Chains A and B, each alone.
Chain A
Amino acid sequence: MNTLSDPYPKAYLYRRIVQAKLFIDAHFAEAIDVGIISGEAHYSKFHFIREFQAIYGRTPREHLTHCRMERAKELMAQGVDALEACVAVGYQSLSSFSRAFKKATGSTPRVFREAELRREADTRARPLNFIPDCFSGAHGLSEE
């Protein structure tokens, strides 16, 4: 319910949904499900899913998958292999992980990882290719 200290209408509702979203952001690698997450928000499961989707445009389950995929992308860009990334973001099956990854990114984990590592090597070998001319010129940067 609204209280006098609430800065805007329904602030308490927003806070509960946002806290649940932050809970997913912090615990996505653990074995959490919508039941646990809606409990964090003190909502019934159905009501929680509806409110969450209204605010974030995706269901809590979709947001959980999104967090896992984003972290997997970060890990693989650092050179971590698919199996290790799969386990690190909370998947128990490599095939489920690979399917979800392909759906989220359009690439298989292996193709994604190789492309990211190639890009990283390029940035180290040819940094000026990644800095627009107007900035590199202003800072007196050249290939030598």
Chain B
Amino acid sequence: MHLQLTHTCFYVLDQDSALDFYVNKLGFKKHTDVRKGEFRWLTVTPPDQPGLEISLLAAKESHAMDKESADALAMLIRKGVFGFGSFQSPDVFAAYEEMHAKGVEFKAPPKKEFYGVSCNFKDDSGNWFSLSEKQPGK
């Protein structure tokens, strides 16, 4: 069986602000930006994974989500409840310095642990991500 993840989504509070964050602070590329009525399908791809489209979905009332759910989701994002994933970089210290210089918020600077070097940052909406270094042999 062959399976490949081609699309996933991050719920964000403001799509324009999220686009600016992922493109200008993390170096993602804008892939697709189309509108169908009120719905905006906005995707970006990580610099080293052009085949993985991440949809920056607005956490707001829509056909797929009633107002109560959308408000609850937005509140949880704002509170920083969600950890959406883990990024890997060949050099976490360099990635940290660059992102930090661009104003990305980190919980703490990267630290060398027994499992490798890592740190955590959040996007402009409040979603948390870890940033770790690829370990030799893994």
Contacts and interface: CB of A to CB of B under 8 A. Distances in A.
B90 A57 contact: yes
A138 B63 CA distance: 7
A124 B34 CA distance: 7
A131 B41 contact: yes
A140 B35 CA distance: 13
Given A8-B111, A135-B55, A138-B63, A130 B94 contact: no
Contact of B34 (A19, A22, A123): A123
Given A21-B98, A124-B34, A127-B41, A139 B93 contact: no
B126 interface: no
A138 B9 CA distance: 13
Interface of A: 7-8, 10-11, 14-15, 17-19, 21-22, 55-57, 123-124, 127-128, 130-132, 135-136, 138-141
Interface of B: 6-7, 9, 32-37, 39, 41, 55, 62-64, 90-91, 93-94, 97-98, 101, 108-112
